Amino acid sequence: MNEINYDADKLVELVRDKVRLDSWHRRSFYFSFAATWITGALWLIAQGLKDPDLGPVRTPWQTVVMRTHGAVALFFLILLGTLMTHVRRGWAMKANRRSGGCMIAVSAALILTAWMLYYLTADSWREWSSAVHWAVGLLALALIAIHVRTGGIARVDQQESK
């Protein structure tokens, strides 16, 4: 009986270990998210400093920043795709499900509003999707920090309760 419990513990430990990302994976994820976030924030700063008479017209600086944002966001999307195993294993372990679910919702909202920004031209839709996109984007930084922290705390709690 003890042997069966030992094997089950080992298995749980193995799956848990696989929820963690390898250091190259974690670094690539943080790097691509930081680049996406920073370019989004730079665009917002440029928007705040822009001459209001320009209306929806982008300044050359905003154009450069948005091109970079579009490029690094694609890289970030690749990294999100690579987290499929992380999500499935985390879900199976019932570990960090609440903040993990929020992470999925935030990613879906960013992708949907990014598509709207790129393809919908009607002013009212653009304004709406822009506001939702950047507000959720800015908030995503705090959510990721919470997700990583609560995931780490859950792991320590489980190890201590052994």
Residues near ligand HEM (CB under 6 A) are: 19-21, 26, 29, 36-37, 40-41, 43-44, 66, 69-70, 73, 76-77, 80, 83, 86-87, 90-91, 95-97, 100-101, 103-104, 107, 110-111, 114, 117-118, 130, 133-134, 137-138, 140, 147-148, 151-152, 154-155
Rg of the chain, C-alpha, whole Å: 20
The whole-angstrom separation of Cα 97 and Cα 43 is 33
CB closer to ligand HEM out of 8 and 139: 139
Closer to ligand HEM by CB, 4 or 57: give it. Answer: 57
Q: Which is nearer to ligand HEM, 8 or 15 (CB)?
A: 15
User: Is 3 or 160 the residue whose CB approaches ligand HEM more closely?
Assistant: 160
CA atoms of 33 and 77, how far apart (whole Å):
9
Helix axes 60-81, 97-119, angle to 10 degrees: 140
The owner of tokens 């990294």 is 79
**Nearest distance from C-beta of residue 6 to ligand HEM, angstroms:** 21
Contact status, residue 46 vs residue 59, Cβ threshold 8 Å: yes
